[in-house]
Amino acid sequence: MTGSEDRSHFSSNPRHIAVVLGTNEIASAIAVFLHRAQCGVVLSHDPLPPVIRRRMAFHDALFDEPVEVDGIEAVRVDGTLDALTEAMRHERVVVTRLGLSDLLPMAPIDVLVDARMHKRMIMPHLRHLARVAVGVGPGFTAGRSCDLAIETHPDRTGMILRSGPTEAATGISRSLGRAGRERFVYSEAPGTWHTPLEIGRRVYKGVLLGRLDGQEVLAPMDGVLRGLARDGTEVPARVKLIEIDPRGRAADWVCMDERSCKIAEATLLAVRSAIAHPAGDWTPTIIPSR
């Protein structure tokens, strides 16, 4: 199932408001699935970690660039009331730099999803901030810090938890074209990132990709730029700057990938189930592999 195939809404009311924390590819896929389910969606940007898979995400709408994911457009909004008005129109996904504390007063929030993927940070308590609060990835405890949690661990991706913690981050990267962690370039120190390149560019091992506070950053292998932090981004140490897709003609950098869709589908299923069975009278599940 893709976002475009699921157009049914999770209740008879097409004006549910959802706030998704994060503008990365997973948060954006969740926004697509919720939008397809007739929910007004506001994506709240968080600067850490920097978004690198930007062609799979709504992130660049923050810079007034035309952005479309799975046929859905995004629009940047800077004011709280404007964000609510635009979300209620249900024409585009709203992308904003407003934080959760700015968005909470705008209207009762039906769905709150934290998809920032901070992995090793202490995650906030989201329960009671919305009708349904969902935590995605490591650091959440379903029934405590959130109502429901979605696993992103490679062995449990898409599993919905009603109670208990999600799996901790392992530090092991998923394989892509037989390449794991070695396909990424990480920042060695904090600094300002500069690059003249764009995602989708073919590169070769050792080629200069950009500079972090003047220090050269080179391509770790041959392939296509699948992920690239935006030029001018301020980055902390030890975060991903670059991702290389080594698969040649099979390389993909623009579509929602299978993992993001699986997580987004699970999130939508969790929200639907929680709204349909507010007393918790339902069974956790896992989205099957495609």
Structure confidence by residue, pLDDT tens digits, 9-19 = 554 455 689 99
Distance CA 217, CA 147 (A): 42
Average pLDDT over residues 230-241: 95
Query: What DSSP character marks residue 286?
Result: B
Helices (H), the chain: 25-36, 80-89, 100-103, 258-276
Confidence of residue 126 (pLDDT cuts 50, 70, 90): very high
Note the pLDDT of residue 180: 83
pLDDT at 279: 59
- Side-chain half-sphere exposure of 135, counting CA atoms within 13 A: 29
> For the domain with range 17-170+257-276, which CATH number is right: 3.40.50, 2.60.40, 3.30.310, 3.30.470?
3.40.50
- At residue 289, does pLDDT exceed 80? no
pLDDT of residue 284: 47
Model confidence at 255, in pLDDT bands (50, 70, 90)? confident
**Per-residue pLDDT at 253 exceeds 90:** yes
What's the pTM? 0.90
Q: Is the pLDDT of residue 8 over 60?
A: no
Q: What is the pLDDT of residue 32?
A: 98
| 8 Å CB contact between 60 and 74 | no
Domain extents for the chain? 17-170+257-276, 181-246
Q: Give the pLDDT of residue 285.
A: 47
How far apart, in whole angstroms, are the C-alpha atoms of residue 34 and residue 69?
Answer: 13
H/E stretch holding 4: none
> What is the second-level CATH architecture of the domain 181-246?
Beta Barrel (2.40)
Tokens standing for residue 275:
């709204």
What's the pLDDT at 287? 44
pLDDT the model gives residue 28: 98
Q: What is the residue-averaged pLDDT of the chain?
A: 89
Per DSSP (E only), the strands in the chain are 16-21, 39-44, 68-69, 72-76, 93-96, 111-114, 132-136, 141-142, 148-150, 160-161, 164-165, 184-186, 191-194, 202-203, 208-212, 215-218, 223-228, 234-235, 240-245
pLDDT at residue 47, as a whole number: 87
Place of tokens 């969790």: 270
